[in-house]
Structure 1
């Protein structure tokens, strides 16, 4: 029971003050004049003023509230380094036991409520926020009245990434630090990284090996540079200095570059020794040489297709007058441009990304050595497309030149002159050049039904062709067949280059809309881009897309497909996943991950890499144990800092209760102030100057004064 005197004046304070002044003046005057009743009159005035002040005695029945102390256990990923996890668990267990004993000693008069918060490792694979240590403490403290909070103890390595989440705290914040004094580590930081690069050229990235803690600067290390998971290249680097790294862009599309600095002896972790970035390879200009053997309806189709692509530089020659043509026309009447065969096929052939022979036939325009040089160009990485007519089956065929060494088919000398429907083979339904072509819509909306052949199947995906050179496949993949099942489109890889043979010159019928037309533009576009090694048309490919914490892995293959997928996490843990067929030649697997960093994927034949979040998570930007990040907070709240494993010994601080306003830390001990908060269960109010009693008292005193003065 607690009691206190309170006043509830019945008049404004200035009225009471004026009354007091008047009473004192009158009493003083009466005393100076030696009036015998001045004391009684003064007492009457005092009783009247006391009654106006309305004093009361307030008695409260109180129940003390427990002080609240928070213990925040940092179990983030950086706490797994070395012995930190064991130190953290031992400290949490010992601290909770010490605080429980402290609460028991306090009894009812000083109860203590200990609340333990455990900061789970990570905040999700896709959200790299680091250690949200102070945010967790702020959220927990928001549920408690500030006058009940006695303090907090943080068990951490000192690395917090939300220092602005706790602007103030009503009690001391103490820090128990894990780790060792004088730790050292190195971190690989990517200073600049290009987003794009020209295929065939190099770009420059700048990396730096950052010394952390007591790691010395200036020593020579090395950085391993790997592109698309290939064998690494070693680049010397000086610790603390920028290191330029040349990256060769070998192909279009994504070039995944991985940098890795091997750890030094005594380094805390290698989780921050990697950097990954992607350089999108783009071709400056795709140079295409189109050689048409003679004018024909399909020539314009090729020209329009290639000229429609702004990234293509097209050089087109049509042979209108071969050397063998002797008709007596005077030379000065000829206005034809001479075909620069030596310049194109000997001196500059390697500058072209693709050479197309469109209905070309041997008529003495290109000597044998020139064609032999084209075969050499293919084997060393070039690309050739043969779109052949009936000449391919005769003595003027390119197969009767040195190009035969790289041509994947052999003509049989027979030409089919009959209607046939081009069909995809089983391999063609899987190959990215022809996959899905049968699903392309036909242009039948404005076609007169009478223009369609009577024998054309209703479900035919496209119109028919009427000429086809019979060929025998020697190598490569037959993706389309024509008349009587003979190969129509054959694709092959020769050395470092690629060759395609289209054994018909009537693809232009689809462009003209004959019998509803067909996907001629799409077919020829894909064909040209496959020959020029565009990555999205590779028949064997393993690709991965990252969306949050989900990896979508796609495998393209013209074979039987992958049997399974192995996903290696940054921590080294491996998980298995299965592919599901989603289309002919395409398989897909979706993998949920719970780590940040660089993942490696392997299906037994191909490998790929994917970065979830940063390859070096924020948690490992500076894993060195330190008091510095939390020093401003402990200083402003009056808390203390102690390293758990100081001088090789593991020791917990002594926990004490201290009075409010006293020091809360000292040598080897932490203090938690007594806040003495309470709840009021009952309030009793007793008036000390009832009106009727004070009126009688005042009247009695005045009557007594009158009697005394009357004598």
Structure 2
């Protein structure tokens, strides 16, 4: 029980103070003049003032409260490598036993998990939240069981004041790891031009070894999941690598170094870099066999794009035509056909033959050059008119080795509506090309002429024309690609005939498909990351979706079913368990995707250290102890004293208590005050009378 005296003045406190001053002055005057009975009158005045202050006796019933030791247990990803999870469990068990032996002490355990948004170990935030729920007068100290790596100490530190904080550091003095990081990389690059990126491989040690300046590490580089290339680069140095992107669009570059026997983890041995390949210029050679209504449309369409460099070669006069005009009067300079078709043909990205037929102007060796150009990776588009059905057709040249279809010799001279085939509905060149068209009318305007074609086997027919005969054929030839359009009437769409059609979009997609842009590939597996989840998409010509196998950063393989969202477009949404590098496989298609950083922040620095937590340890004079050396003993210290020693850590003795009952009663009853005041006053009067 604790007792104390409380005062509850009957008059305002300023008035009580004024009365006290007057009483004190009267007492001093009586003392100075030597009046008889002054001491008894002084006591009476004092009793009056005390009675006005209304003193009361307060008695409190209190129960003592235990001190609290707060334990923050780090359960982030870096705590599950190198045996640290076992060390953490052992340290927590021993700390629980030690605090149980300490008199009147409770242990409160708070777990520190991984941040959902990939921000790493948020120790300061977790500590601040835990301290807000513990009374300050009961907190004896804080123990952090961790590898010492935290990522939010740049913010305001938790208000620990003089409370000691100790670190029980997991990890071993023999820990060693290898880390791969991208130091500098561009976000985009121009195709055909070399860009430089800087990367670095570091060997990390818990105890600093003697440097090995000649150490080399193996580095593999893979683009879009293709066969990786292997290099040996020095360790501990920035290495600049020249990179030339293989195709336009997004290029996914995967860098990796093999796992060594002595490493803590391979989670920081890989990284993914996405670089957007941009074509500086699209170089197109347009070869027109003769002037016609669609020639100007082709030219305007290609020239409207500022990124297209167009060379237009038009046959205005055949070699055997006799009009009695000397050739030197028909042109100022000779057209450099040899340079175009022999010497510089590899500089073009796309060659278009528009209603061209063999007329003796281009010799057979030029067509051989075009064929070889395609086989080596070039692209050719043939827009066939009646010329393709004649005896002078390109089909009867060496280009027949690469063309996807030949003529039947028939030309359909009537109107028809181009239609997308079942395969075309799934093919990225024509998929959704008719989106937004109402079902009660033909999707596009008519074409008025078509050359009948016979398609080769294994050729992709994505558009049909009159009587459902092949109209647009696609094929691969060697390393290159070829497209054959069996009509010279596509320009009617550009002119808006009967509503027109998507000629510009169709040509754009054809060009991108022939340029091997990834987004126009028939078989493509990719993922769109969204925070902690991703949308996995399989673009395929198959009408049945397969499952996708997802390999997590930890090596676990998860099978996910894909549902058809649109023809040839299968997808699923999936919430990933953790950030990191994921590998995707569906059938023969493979891909990699980085959810968050390829190496999460937890694995940027995997070596345990106490230096990061020094701003938390120093104010309370705590210390860091290695768990592998055993836990120190516990001691009680006074506030402001050192809180650690060689093999001990100290905690405060708070001695807090909880009040369970309060009894308040007057120090004296009112009548007792009156009796005392009257008694001393009468005594002073009697004493003064006897003296006189």
Aligned to 2:313: 317
User: Under a length normalisation based on structure 2, what TM-score does the superposition of the two structures give?
Assistant: 0.91
Mean CA deviation greater in 474-483 or 239-248: 474-483
**Partner of residue 395, structure 1:** 391
Does the 8 A contact of 2:127 with 2:158 survive in 1? Answer: no
Matches within 5 A, 1:345-356: 345-356=341-352
Match for residue 587 of structure 1 among 553, 559, 570: 570
Question: Which of the residues 616, 620, 624 maps onto 2:607?
Answer: 624
CA–CA separation in structure 1 for the residues paired with 2:82 and 2:527: 33
135-144 or 412-421, which deviates more: 412-421
Q: Are residue 419 (structure 1) and residue 443 (structure 2) matched?
A: no
Among residues 198, 206, 216, which one is paired with 1:206 in the alignment? 198
Deviation at 1:694, TM superposition (A): 4.1
Distance change in 2, residues 1:7/1:391 (3 Å): closer
Give the stretch that moved more between structures: 289-298 or 208-217: 208-217
| TM-aligned CA deviation for residue 366 of structure 1 | 0.6
For the 8 Å contact 2:54–2:666, the answer to whether it is kept is no
In structure 2, the CA distance between the partners of 1:400 and 1:82, relative to structure 1 (3 Å rule), is: same
Are 2:127 and 1:131 equivalent residues in the alignment?
A: no
Matched positions, count: 678
Measured against aligned partners, the alpha-carbon deviations of 1:304-352 in whole angstroms (never above 9, x if no partner) come to 2211222111111221112211111245653576432112111111111
Give the TM-score, by structure 1 length: 0.89
Shift in Å, 1:582: 1.8
Give runs of aligned pairs for residues 17-32 of structure 1, distance below 5 A: 19-20=23-24, 23-24=27-28, 26-27=30-31, 30=34
Residues 676-706 of structure 1, C-alpha deviations (whole Å, 9 max, x = no match): 2233321424335964134214313312430
Q: Report the Cα offset of residue 148 of structure 1.
A: 2.5
Deviation at 1:279, TM superposition (A): 0.7
Query: Could you tell me which of 109, 132, 135 is aligned with 1:142?
Result: 132
CA contact (8 A) 2:41 2:681 kept: no
Distance 1:43 1:536, change over 3 A: closer
1:515 maps to 2:498? yes
Preserved contact between residue 138 and residue 165 of structure 1 (Cα < 8 Å)? no
Map 1:169-208; keep pairs closer than 5 Å: 169=160, 171-181=163-173, 183-208=175-200
SS across alignment from 1:629: coil
Distance 2:589 2:26 in 1: 105
- For residues 269 and 522 of structure 1, the distance between their equivalents in structure 2, rounded to whole angstroms, comes to 49
Structure-2 residue corresponding to 1:79 = 79
- Answer whether contact 1:386 1:500 (CA < 8 A) is retained: yes
Q: 1:4 to 1:425 in 2, by over 3 A?
A: closer
Aligned partners of 1:509 and 1:17: how far apart in 2?
Answer: 112
Question: Compared with structure 1, are the counterparts of its residues 234 and 134 closer, same or farther at alpha carbon in structure 2 (3 Å cutoff)?
Answer: same
Q: Aligned partners of 1:580 and 1:70: how far apart in 2?
A: 50
Q: How many angstroms does 1:608 deviate by? A: 0.4
CA, structure 1 residues 522+53, in 2 after alignment: closer, same or farther (shift >3 Å)? closer
Deviation readout 1:179-211 (Å, 9 max, x if unpaired): 123533332222111111111222111112234
Counterpart in 2 of 1:468? 450
Q: 1:254 and 1:210 mapped to 2: Cα distance?
A: 28
Q: Tell me how far 1:231 sits from its aligned partner.
A: 2.5
| CA distance in 2 between partners of 1:516 and 1:16 (Å) | 106
- For 1:298, the equivalent position in structure 2 comes to 294
Secondary structure of 2:612 counterpart: helix
| CA deviation profile, 1:363-389 (whole Å, cap 9, x unmatched) | 121111111111111111111111111
Aligned 8 A contact 2:36 2:688 in 1: no
Query: In the aligned structure 2, how far is the partner of 1:271 from the partner of 1:215?
Result: 22
1:261 matches 2:257: yes
Alignment-derived partner of residue 119 in structure 1: 112
Equivalent of 1:479, from 462, 466, 487?
462
Deviation at 1:55, TM superposition (A): 4.9
Give the 3 Å change call, closer, same or farther, for CA 485–702 of structure 1 in structure 2.
same
Q: Output the CA distance in 2 between the equivalents of 1:638 and 1:707.
A: 72
The gaps in structure 2 that reach 5 residues or longer are none
Q: 1:273 corresponds to which residue? A: 269
Cα distance per residue 1:424-469 (max 9 Å; x no partner): 3222222111222343538xxxxxxxxxxxxxx9643233333222
User: Does residue 320 of structure 2 align to residue 328 of structure 1?
Assistant: no
Q: How does 1:30-41 map to 2 (within 5 A)?
A: 30=34, 40=40
- Cα offset for 1:254? 0.8
Task: Give yes or no for contact 1:135–1:165 (8 Å, CA) kept in 2.
Answer: no
Report matched runs for 1:548-697 at 5 Å. 548-646=531-629, 651-658=630-637, 663-680=642-659, 681-687=661-667, 691-697=673-679
- The answer to whether residue 367 in structure 2 is matched with residue 367 in structure 1 is no
Aligned pairs for 1:85-124 (under 5 A) are 85-102=85-102, 105-106=103-104, 112-120=105-113, 122-124=114-116
CA deviations 1:600-659 (Å, max 9, x no partner) are 00113011000001011111121211221222212212333322211xxxx333334555
Tell me how far 1:586 sits from its aligned partner. 1.8
Q: Which runs of 5+ in 1 are unaligned?
A: 107-111, 443-456
| CA distance 1:694–1:274, change in 2 (3 Å) | farther
C-alpha distance after superposition, 1:33-60 (max 9, x if no partner): xx77565556556556655666544332
CA separation in 2, counterparts of 1:215 and 1:491?
A: 61
For the Cα contact (< 8 Å) 1:45–1:698, is it kept in 2?
Answer: no
Give the whole-Å Cα distance in 1 for the aligned partners of 2:667 and 2:307: 98
**CA-based RMSD:** 2.7
The alpha-carbon deviation at position 23 of structure 1 amounts to: 3.0
Q: Distance in 2 between matches of 1:301 and 1:535?
A: 28
Residue aligned with 1:365, SS: coil
Q: Do the aligned partners of 2:247 and 2:515 also contact (CA within 8 Å) in 1?
A: no
SS of equivalent to 2:140: strand
1:486-497 to structure 2, matched below 5 A, reads 486-497=469-480
Of residues 18-27 and 333-342 in structure 1, the stretch that sits farther from structure 2 once superposed is: 18-27
Q: Is residue 376–residue 479 contact of structure 2 (8 Å, CA) maintained in 1?
A: yes
Change (3 A) 1:265 1:438: closer
1:166 corresponds to which residue? 157
3-state SS of the aligned residue for 1:214?
A: coil
Cα distance in 2 for residues equivalent to 1:36 and 1:559:
123
Distance (Å, rounded) in 2 between the aligned partners of 1:39 and 1:591: 93
Structure 1, 580-589 or 71-80: larger mean CA deviation: 580-589
Q: Which secondary structure does the structure 1 equivalent of 2:236 belong to?
A: coil
Cα contact 1:235–1:245 (8 A) shared by 2: no
